[in-house]
Structure 1
């Protein structure tokens, strides 16, 4: 432990101190780096909170390198986990420079790294391994990777953008992997999470800790008041948004966020039509296309990159002058990540402009900005009964161990918080289902993959097991040898032969489709239609919906609203003046009755099913309201009576949530649902798509 008067800088090894001053050119450590260094040198687990570009990477790796050098750690001794490959690519030069100061090496492992390079690493490991959880799973289950030997020297794991993991399936998968790694290493691994935005960091710290017996420490230094410059504008359409972006900040580097791939393509095409040098980034563009866009954008000056949330996480694309947000982002945390892309140069500040194309998005953006200004950030609620991830882990252990002993499989993952509320009975139910369905088979006291498990998950050498999330049916798009990206196969099926579509901001004509191989060959075209990609509906959280209602009922106009936004918000407030009459008003019009709940998408999903049960079809849920149409809307009195019944205390229960979970899901939410007995499957679905209000 540190002397009470000793600074973290003084505690670092002499070689690290030398390079901090002479190689990095730092005059000292920032507050977040001081606090983090103390925590890591004391051997504590920690979650480190600091703004984007706040020095979190150095905060974690300078003390780790000091320990690595001073204590003679083997290789690989530090594992760096990122949610996306692009962040690995972006951080690799930075970590290589830091490690190189002490003659230590870094290796990056993901799907684009060749087999020969991976083979050399397994024979002669680098000190720091950079990878994603999916690639780590590949390493653990592959017969070609000696994972037990490889991870024997592991001492610490750094999880970047930890908030991006904690609330979904990938987080449950991640903490399961940490428990398996800890068993391979045979020691209590130090766990370090880095984040710019999380509303409940102590809960995330406990979630990350698992079976670790180390102390946990939250590193959250005081932050100066935000000096961000924010504007909320009303533009009415995507083409108008393009005109505003083209006209504002000419000669500067700009980043525009749009929350769908289709609208990224629309905005990108409109900007290019306006003569703006424009690059596109979304998950359906090929890795080469995205890399070209990143490199061109980073070296440019007068240009715009249009992106989905793929550009939200820690990727450094150079000095940005301003961020544009077209319509509302999904959360306050998401907005914080996005505005953090700008204002990194000394003497500059963060700048963001909202450009809203719909009245509803304008009001939602206004509400979200009020929450942001108040300091609110959404809590991330980690899963504690991830039955589907537990099924995936059983299958992975079957491969990792070449057949896992029945008496031992649970011990591998028991400490993961994502399974902390799974009872022994539920584990037995799950394993019983997998055995009865032939997904796994018991042989000589061990579990091995069964014939149905092979059929479901052995596609392309078990690739279906590596990623916890489900991928939609896609076609790879090629122009000659160049891969452009992917398109939704179901959408392409609906097109006439030889149709044209826009991808990557360019129009392409379909010349040939090989459905068996999943290939779509194209050639340049003068114009094309914009694609649709399948995706889940946006379920807005209740807190944001409630703030929207308050914003609509308020008369105050916020200082960041432009003149156009003020005029449009006055009209939107006038259209919603009826909200003042009661807490959840019911409004009737020809053929439709609308119940304005402002309870959020998940609660409205459940309430809509309960109304439909009482009234018949058709009841349609949204985030702010539930619409009753068709035969169900014949009697306003009957609708109001059904609503009164639902609003009675105790009228809506968790049993209702489970009962309607499958019908609310609309589509499978996990490729591992076939492993789950019906009771567990319905409970899994209920937590995802419905909520008892």
Structure 2
């Protein structure tokens, strides 16, 4: 073990004798030296590549050698279930050096929290939201508790960096550095990113360019598709991938129930409703089936995941909740219903298989309709090229800035009106650009100002003061849901519309793959009571966000498929036949030389510009074209609706100079209301935040540079 000289001898002893390892894996070997030296790092490896050990073993060695005391290492995860899964391993590794590890998240009991505060663990596993709650809690002396903090591990770092939770993580880490009085070593773990160097810079926050850091990705495992940065040039990732067209969810259930009997199968769906309906259909066919999604109760999910891990001939149907590194045992097969939203997501899912020696990674795509088939084919075409989406932080997180200003004042009691910027050490949007937000918070009563100090105002008390300001610790607004109970046993949560819509006969729900009849609704406490029934249940959940559809690269890959390209995977005869039908169907809507403008004949003539550019680019193009585009149209991934009487001459005028005057999309006021903390922003800044996030200026420019052909001619 060449890295053994830099690891504590006691750890090396246990690695060899307790774990029975002959040596470290490549990532673990390569991570030892930089992490022991205190460098920041992004550790990249396929799923099940040993990333947790690659981070923990060197940090524990550093902890032991430098005699760190108190809680010196934080381990952050995006999911509570992932933390629960990791705790036994981290506890074991810590105990080899006489150190301790503990858990703190929303499901941790008050007794367990008191034990953590009384006997600070050396390693604390938590979520960013729980970390924020500790900082603002009157029951936690955060200055004392975090005084010994030295390093932070951010697991599944790409899952944070691509949305507002990432800005929240960075801002909280900057505040923690000030509390601890020292820079914190930052280590990110990820399986699938297309821009690892940029991700490292992002993770370093205010220390980027000042602290040493590196990307550690020693093994270029093309079985996983790895990353665009690590896939060897000209090579295609390998794996047993099959693309099938089944036409309906019932047909998908029939295929799953008859194929691969005796194997352990993990089925991914893109919505909770599909999980419920497929789970119910599989059980009706006698398949030993378990379910996992975010609206099931914690106990229900734990029972399902534990039973699935111990069983053999079974299926678990899940949303992305099982995409990340939660251990559900040794899988034989992954099945995907339609297509995931990204190549990165697909890589996480296929990485759940092929872990046993002599097995290969595999995934069976069962597509339900033409759109699902085309999306899957386009995604697999991009995957075959070794491409993975870059992880990009959403721009202009002004609502997170407002949340952080309020949280800081709650944490400290009061903050100097000219000193608040120092808490974020000059981190991008949390510095001088935040001054208009501070003025607005004071003007609207969210903050009070007296004697040069800022502190929590009456409006913040009114809006966020319930349960000791717990509403301030989460950066997303959750859709309202009713808790579903059978007696005292919680089954999960359902959309309230299922309890209010008109029904003929008894009201029935589908939840946890079982049918329930509603017996009583407690409207005040948002609870409903149920009893099991044989059938007739319905599943539904409403989202609060306004989706941004597929990306430019994935939609353009679908266009390539329609023009004749095919992913190098196994296509069933059904999939090949349906793909040929789709190519015939869209024949007038795609052209290898550019985009196409087609007059759709039907109940009402419509002029559509088939851009194949993705939702965000199309929103940008619709806004930019002004009167040439139909106002208020519903944006989609594939086309922009133009004015019905538009002529070729009008089109030339509309396009002239458009690339130099790109406009940001208009924002629906409902979307602003769905942005948490938007009320704490000046309206124009809230709208500007969403508008820039809905735009794709680069892709819109690329589309405008292409020739656009009218059907029967070109323009």
- TM-score normalised per structure 1: 0.94
Moved more, 94-103 or 279-288: 94-103
In the alignment, which of 16, 19, 24 is matched to residue 19 of structure 2?
24
Check the 8 A contact 2:616/2:695 in 1, yes or no. Answer: yes
Is 1:308 matched with 2:319? yes
Query: CA offset at residue 620 of structure 1?
Result: 2.6
Is 1:543 matched with 2:553? yes
Is 1:603 matched with 2:617? yes
In the alignment, which of 465, 472, 480 is matched to residue 473 of structure 1?
480
In the alignment, which of 489, 499, 508 is matched to residue 507 of structure 2?
499
Distance 2:158 2:312 in 1: 31
Equivalence for 1:356: 367
Is 1:622 matched with 2:636? yes
Query: CA offset at residue 222 of structure 1?
Result: 2.9
Equivalence for 1:274: 285
Equivalence for 2:231: none
Query: CA offset at residue 407 of structure 1?
Result: 2.1
Distance 2:622 2:658 in 1: 17
Distance 2:661 2:121 in 1: 53
Is 1:186 matched with 2:181? yes
Moved more, 503-512 or 578-587: 578-587
Query: CA offset at residue 615 of structure 1?
Result: 5.7
Is 1:687 matched with 2:695? no
1:593-637, CA deviations, whole angstroms, 9 ceiling, x for partnerless residues? Answer: 332111111122233455675565563321112346xxx54x3x3
Distance 2:438 2:649 in 1: 45
Check the 8 A contact 1:44/1:190 in 2, yes or no. Answer: yes
Query: CA offset at residue 110 of structure 1?
Result: 0.7
Q: Does the C-alpha gap of structure 1 residues 580 and 301 become closer, same or farther in structure 2, counting only changes over 3 Å? A: same
Which secondary structure does the structure 2 equivalent of 1:435 belong to?
A: helix
1:293-339, CA deviations, whole angstroms, 9 ceiling, x for partnerless residues? Answer: 11110111111010111111111100000000000100000000011
Which secondary structure does the structure 2 equivalent of 1:178 belong to?
A: helix
Equivalence for 1:396: 407
Is 1:62 matched with 2:72? no
In the alignment, which of 549, 558, 562 is matched to residue 552 of structure 1?
562
Check the 8 A contact 1:646/1:652 in 2, yes or no. Answer: no
Q: Does the C-alpha gap of structure 1 residues 644 and 283 become closer, same or farther in structure 2, counting only changes over 3 Å? A: farther
Give the count of matched residue pairs.
675
Query: CA offset at residue 494 of structure 1?
Result: 2.2
Displacement over 6 Å in runs of 4+:
none
Query: CA offset at residue 205 of structure 1?
Result: 0.4
Distance 2:547 2:364 in 1: 25
Equivalence for 2:232: none
Is 1:380 matched with 2:397? no
Equivalence for 2:235: none
Equivalence for 2:522: 514
Equivalence for 2:494: 487
Q: How is 1:52-91 mapped onto 2 (pairs within 5 angstroms)?
A: 52-91=47-86
Is 1:221 matched with 2:232? no
Is 1:294 matched with 2:305? yes
Check the 8 A contact 1:612/1:618 in 2, yes or no. Answer: no
Check the 8 A contact 1:470/1:671 in 2, yes or no. Answer: yes
- Compute the RMSD of aligned alpha carbons: 2.0
Query: CA offset at residue 556 of structure 1?
Result: 4.9
Q: Unaligned regions of 5+ residues in structure 1, if any?
A: 1-5
Equivalence for 2:120: 125
Check the 8 A contact 1:210/1:415 in 2, yes or no. Answer: no
Check the 8 A contact 1:237/1:357 in 2, yes or no. Answer: yes
Is 1:439 matched with 2:446? yes
Distance 2:265 2:132 in 1: 37
Query: CA offset at residue 73 of structure 1?
Result: 1.0
Is 1:676 matched with 2:687? no
In the alignment, which of 564, 582, 600 is matched to residue 572 of structure 1?
582
Which secondary structure does the structure 1 equivalent of 2:241 belong to?
A: strand
Q: Does the C-alpha gap of structure 1 residues 627 and 304 become closer, same or farther in structure 2, counting only changes over 3 Å? A: farther
Check the 8 A contact 1:440/1:449 in 2, yes or no. Answer: yes
Distance 1:538 1:263 in 2: 20
Is 1:319 matched with 2:346? no
Q: How is 1:337-352 mapped onto 2 (pairs within 5 angstroms)?
A: 337-352=348-363
Moved more, 525-534 or 13-22: 525-534
Moved more, 405-414 or 287-296: 405-414
Check the 8 A contact 2:377/2:567 in 1, yes or no. Answer: no
Distance 1:272 1:652 in 2: 57
Query: CA offset at residue 487 of structure 1?
Result: 1.2
Moved more, 96-105 or 312-321: 96-105
Check the 8 A contact 2:519/2:530 in 1, yes or no. Answer: yes
Equivalence for 2:230: none
Q: Does the C-alpha gap of structure 1 residues 447 and 528 become closer, same or farther in structure 2, counting only changes over 3 Å? A: farther
Equivalence for 1:586: 597
Query: CA offset at residue 667 of structure 1?
Result: 5.3
Distance 2:17 2:351 in 1: 28
Moved more, 606-615 or 226-235: 606-615
Distance 2:521 2:415 in 1: 43
Q: Does the C-alpha gap of structure 1 residues 258 and 73 become closer, same or farther in structure 2, counting only changes over 3 Å? A: same
- TM-score normalised per structure 2: 0.91
Moved more, 133-142 or 210-219: 210-219
1:27-52, CA deviations, whole angstroms, 9 ceiling, x for partnerless residues? Answer: 11111111111110121100000011
Query: CA offset at residue 689 of structure 1?
Result: 2.0
Check the 8 A contact 1:598/1:624 in 2, yes or no. Answer: yes
Moved more, 386-395 or 640-649: 640-649
Q: Does the C-alpha gap of structure 1 residues 683 and 641 become closer, same or farther in structure 2, counting only changes over 3 Å? A: farther
